[in-house]
Amino acid sequence: MRELTIDEIDDLALGATLLGTGGGGDPYVGKLLVKQAIADHGPARVVGPEELPEDGRVLTTAIIGAPTVILEKIPAGTEFRAGIRALAAYLGEEPVALMPIEVGGVNTLVPIATAVELGIPIVDADGMRRAFPQIEMTVFTLHGLLAAPMSIADEKGNMCVFEATTNQTAEALARAAILQLGLANAISCYPMTVADVRRAGIHGSMTYCTEVGRRLAQVKRGTARAWEELLDYTEAALVFSGKVIDIDRRTTEGFARGTVVLEHLEDASRTMRVEIQNENLIAFEEGEAVVTVPDLLCLLDYESADPITTEGLAYGQRLNVLAMPCAPEWHRDGMFDLVGPRAFGYDIDYVDFRENQR
C-alpha cells in the first residue's frame, strides 16, 4: 500500500488524457474531484490486488454518458458513493477496495476520489488500460466475468440496480437508463472478488498511467531525450506528423463519428486518415490501415505535446500521430470480436503497427 501524492495526481491525469486516445472524457474535472477529496478526507491509498484478502469484494465506479454532456454537467460527487452503496446493499457485502474500469480519460480519477471519500483503498488495476466507449469492452469480458449486477445513479438521488445475462445486454440496459437520468451518471459494474481481479485484471495500470503522464510532462517541458523515453517506455511509435486539412464529424448510431485528414508536414503528397468513434480508432495511410484498435492511436499537438481530444480537433492544427500497443492482457481469444476493427464496423483486419516499424 502506498499513498498517492499531489504531483502524481497531475501525472496520472496527463497520462489518462493520453490513454483516453482522444475520448474517455476530460480528466480535468476528475483531477479536481480527487484533490478535493484528499483535502477533505486525507490521502488516497493505492494497493496491489495481492495485498487484499482473496475473497474480498472489489467494486468499480465510473462516469457513464455522452462525452459532450459530461463536459458541461459537472458531477455533484455524491452519485458515485450512492451508486456504490446501492450495489453493496444489493450484494449484501461491503467493498474492501474500489477499482477503475478504464484507466484512460476521466474514469481513471473518479474512482480514486470516491475511494478516498469511502475511506477504502484503490486497486492498481483495471479492465482496459485505455478508453473504450462501451461497458462490455473490457478484458473482464474476455475472462467471462459479468458486468452485472450493476447500479446507475444520478446526482439527485435517482438510482437503479439491475441484472443482465450478458455484458452486451448490460450495455444496452445502461444506455436506456442514462437516457432518462441526464446522460452523465455514475455507474458501478463488474462487482468482483479480489481473486477475480488477480486473475482477470490488467495489473499496475494506474502506475503505468502515472509513468506515461510523468514522461509526457517531461516532453511538454522540453526535457532532453524525453520523447525517446516516452516512446521506449510505452513501446510506441510516431507514425505521422501532419497538419489537419479536413475534419468531417457525424453523429450516427449513437456515436460521435468522424474522419480527420492530415497532410504530412514534410511531404505534402502524403496524407493520413484517422477514423474516430468517440476515440481515435484507426489510421490509414495510402489506403492501408497502419494503426488499428485495440492499439492506442493518440494525437498530440506538434509543438506543445498536449494530447488532443476528438472535440478539440481543429482545421490547421499541426499534430503528431502516436501509435501505442494496447495492454498485453488484451491479446486473448475473442479480442478481435470484442474490440478489433470489425467490432466498430470497419471491415478490415487488425494490423500490428510494430511490424511496419521493424
Q: Which residues bind another protein (CB under 8 A)?
A: 245-246, 248, 250, 252, 257, 259, 261, 263, 269-271, 273, 275, 282, 284, 286-289, 346-348
Least distance between another protein and beta carbon 138 (Å): 26
Least distance between another protein and beta carbon 47 (Å): 43
198 versus 264: smaller Cβ distance to another protein: 264
Least distance between another protein and beta carbon 316 (Å): 14
CA 48 to chain centre: 19
- Contact yes or no for 20/307 (Cβ under 8 A): yes
Least distance between another protein and beta carbon 312 (Å): 20
How many C-beta neighbours within 10 Å does residue 28 have? 13
Amino acid identity, position 51 = E
169 versus 241: smaller Cβ distance to another protein: 241
- Contact yes or no for 243/270 (Cβ under 8 A): no
How many C-beta neighbours within 10 Å does residue 169 have? 17
- Contact yes or no for 171/135 (Cβ under 8 A): yes
Least distance between another protein and beta carbon 287 (Å): 3
Largest CA distance in the chain: 62
Number of residues assigned to the chain: 358
Least distance between another protein and beta carbon 286 (Å): 6
**What would the grid cell of residue 46 be?**
493505492
Least distance between another protein and beta carbon 261 (Å): 4
What are the b/e assignments for 46-85, b being 16+ CB within 10 Å? Answer: bbbbeebeeebbbbbbbbbbbbeebbebebebebbbbbbb
71 versus 247: smaller Cβ distance to another protein: 247
Please name which of 334, 328, 349, 340 lies closest in space to residue 129, comparing C-alpha atoms: 328
Least distance between another protein and beta carbon 288 (Å): 5
Amino acid identity, position 329 = E
81 versus 270: smaller Cβ distance to another protein: 270
78 versus 271: smaller Cβ distance to another protein: 271
123 versus 282: smaller Cβ distance to another protein: 282
227 versus 284: smaller Cβ distance to another protein: 284
CA 25 to chain centre: 8
222 versus 287: smaller Cβ distance to another protein: 287
157 versus 254: smaller Cβ distance to another protein: 254
Least distance between another protein and beta carbon 133 (Å): 17
Burial of 263 (0-12, 13-18, 19+ CB in 10 A): middle
Residue 298 gets the label, from left (phi > 0), alpha (psi -120 to 50) or beta, of: beta
Q: Which residues, in sequence order, are bridge partners of residue 318?
A: 243
In a 3-state reduction of DSSP, which class is residue 217? helix
